[in-house]
Amino acid sequence: MNTHPENGDLPWEMLRRAKHCICLIFPYRQKLDRVPRLAPLMIYNQESDIRLMCLKSPRGPETAAETMGKLESALSSLKGRRFYGLFREHEGGETYLACTRIEPGDNPEALGLMRVEIPEGKYDREKLPGWEEKWDGTSIEGLPELFGRMFERNAGTVDAERFCVEYYRSRKELILMLPLK
């Protein structure tokens, strides 16, 4: 069994190889007790662009919930829709877009929505289970901290030109995707 180069007692091995993702285990040291904790790193390769129609939040993440509500109101039906939140920091502030996939028959311009794509490429991916129970009406508990940990472990490899993605897979599962170079 291979061991971690800096600490021979920790396993450093590949758990699973699949066509689209590689799951690695790597050590993470807590500051106080210095007990190693293992955390998964999910690298996901988005093989094609995802076409979306979006509504821009007027004050970034601060008004994200309100913007998502306006997007839902603009649609004739929510049945079968997939929803996304796109976030990016830039000079002068933060941008948040509430989005849904463009389906056959959709006309984003007629609804006053803009077209955006989630580009293909590599993403670090984490699941936030039970997000709906963590929803307090304006934000999701634990979401900023989870994105923060993702940024921390991918320092130097984050692609700042692409949006961070919140994919609302179901009412119970939220998938976070951090773009990588």
| Co-location of 77 and 32 in the same domain | no
> Which has more pLDDT, 132 or 48?
48
The DSSP result for 97-153, as a single string, is EEEEE--TT--GGGGT-EEEEE-SEEEEEEEEETGGGGB-SS-BTTHHHHHHHHHHH
Q: Alpha-carbon distance 115 to 108, whole Å?
A: 7
**17 bridge partner residues:** 22
95-99, 136-140, 152-156: segment of lowest average pLDDT: 136-140
User: What pLDDT shows up at residue 174?
Assistant: 87
**Quick one: 168 and 149 in the same domain?**
yes
- Strand 36-46 versus strand 114-118 pairing type: unpaired
Whether residues 90 and 15 share a domain: the answer is no
Mind listing the pLDDT tens digit for each residue in 143-154? 788 888 898 989
Residue 137 pLDDT class (50, 70, 90 cuts): low
What value does the CA radius of gyration of the chain take, rounded to a whole number of Å? 18
Question: Are 83 and 16 in a shared domain?
Answer: no
Domain co-membership, 76 together with 160: yes
Q: What pLDDT was estimated at residue 37? A: 37
CATH number at residue 169: 3.20.80.10
- For residue 34, what are the domain limits? 3-44
- Are 37 and 77 in a shared domain? no
Task: Specify the number of domains making up the chain.
Answer: 2
